[in-house]
A = this chain, B = another copy of it.
Amino acid sequence: MSFSIEQKVYQGVIKELQRYIEKNNLNPGDKLPSERELSERLKAGRSSVREALRALELIGLVETRHGEGTYLREYRSFQTVELLSSFILRQNNMKDDLTFTKKIMEKEAAKLAFGRISAPDIQELKTILEANSSDALTKHRSFFKYLFEKTENLLLMKIWTLMDEFSHAVCVYRFEESFYYSLLKLYSERDYSSIDPLFSSEVQVSS
Contact = CB atoms under 8 A, between A and B. Distances in A.
Interface of A: 10-11, 14, 18, 21-22, 27-28, 47, 50-52, 54-59, 61, 72, 74-78, 80-81, 83-92, 94, 97-98, 100-101, 104, 108, 153-156, 158-159, 162-163, 166, 170, 196
Contact of A80 (B10, B51, B80, B153): B80
Contacts of A84: 59, 61, 75, 77, 80, 162
Given A58-B59, A80-B59, A88 B75 contact: yes
Given A100-B153, A154-B97, A10 B54 contact: yes
B94 A76 contact: yes
Contacts of A54: 10, 51-52, 54-55
Given A10-B54, A28-B90, A80-B84, 5 more contacts: A59-B80, A77-B88, A78-B97, A81-B162, A159-B159
Contacts of A98: 77, 155
A98 B82 CA distance: 13
Nearest to A58: B55
A22 B196 CA distance: 35
Most B CB contacts (10 A, CB to CB) among A58, A89, A155, A158 go to A155
Contact of A94 (B22, B72, B154, B170): B154
Contact of A87 (B57, B75, B154, B163): B75
Nearest to A107: B108
A101 B155 contact: yes
A172 to B, nearest CB: 15
A98 B76 CA distance: 10
A14 B75 contact: no
A101 B27 contact: no
Contact of A108 (B61, B104, B153): B104
A156 B14 CA distance: 24
Greatest chain B CB density within 10 A among A77, A88, A104 is at A77
A112 to B, nearest CB: 8
